[in-house]
Amino acid sequence: MDVFEFLTTSLGAAVILGAFSLLFYKDNPWSRWTEYSIVGLGVGWGTVIATWTAVELCIKPLIAGDISKLVPLILGLLTYTQFSRRYRWAMRFPLALVSSAGLAIVLTGLPVSDFIVQLRAIAIPLTACSGFDLVNGIITIICVISVLSYFTFTHEHTGALGSFAKLGRIFMMLGFGAEFAMTVVSNCAHAIIVIVFLLKNWLHLL
């Protein structure tokens, strides 16, 4: 291991141990240093990439003669007018363009992806299913109807509607519970990678 590699792995280990110190001890200068370093490095890295992107995608082609790149450059520069009380209004133009263009792009595909495809997915031909597929199909249909009935507010949740709404709430709770469990599993993966880093790359125990 050369000196540079040793220093970089030791720095990585110091950051990881700093974060762990918060769990096993309490808020301390080491853990705070870790937090500030991560935030600072993240912002710094993001700034470098954003600047590089602006140079590569806009400024270099502009210098090469592509005048059309003046439009995004001017719109981008207009966002800085927010720092001036007098010219703050000019910031609305790039913001309006970005949000409206984004909405237009998304909305053209939204009916297909979020409605038609989803409706097609629940319109399962149960007669053609067997075994687990049939059970899954029935559960899906009950789940959709009951969850939708939970969000029906035009009638009081009593009788059949009330029962279905209750069932819908149970289905949603199952969904949220599964989501939370997956988050725990996800965090486990992140913990494993830092532990492997400490034991393998830093301490050479693996």
Partner 1 sequence: MAEEWYEKVGRIPRKVMYALTLIILIVPLFVSFALPVHISSETRIMYETIEKLRGTGKRVLFIACTIAAHWGEFYHMYFAIFQHIFLLENVKLIIVPVASPDAPALTWMALDAISNPLNKQYGVDYAVLTFLPDPTAAFASMAENFRATFTADLSGTPIDKLPVMEGVYTLSDFDVIITADVAAAAPQVARIFYPRFPDKTYFGLVLAGAVMMYLPFHGTVFKSALVGPRSAAEYQILYGGPYSGAVRQMDIYSAYHLFILIAIILGNIPFIARKISRRRK
Tell me if 16 sits within 8 A of 198, measured CB to CB. yes
DSSP 81: G
Give residues in contact with partner 1 (CB under 8 A): 23-24, 45-46, 48-50, 52-53, 56-57, 61, 101-102, 105-106, 108-110, 112-114, 117-118, 120-121, 175, 179, 182-196, 199, 206
Pick 49 or 162: Cβ nearer partner 1: 49
CA 113/CA 121 separation, integer angstroms = 11
Interatomic CA distance for residues 104 and 190, integer angstroms: 37
Q: Give the contacts of 168 (CB within 8 A, at least 6 positions apart).
A: 143, 146, 147, 148, 149, 150, 151
Between residues 108 and 127, which has the closer beta carbon with respect to partner 1?
108
For partner 1, which is the closer residue by CB, 89 or 117?
A: 117
CB of 82 to partner 1, least distance (A): 19
Q: Cβ of 35: how many Cβ atoms within 10 Å?
A: 15
Q: Which pair of structure tokens corresponds to residue 45?
A: 């890295």
Q: Quote the least distance from Cβ 166 to partner 1, whole Å.
A: 21
In terms of CB distance, is 74 or 196 closer to partner 1?
196
Q: How far is the CB of 77 from partner 1 (least distance, A)?
A: 17
CB of 110 to partner 1, least distance (A): 5
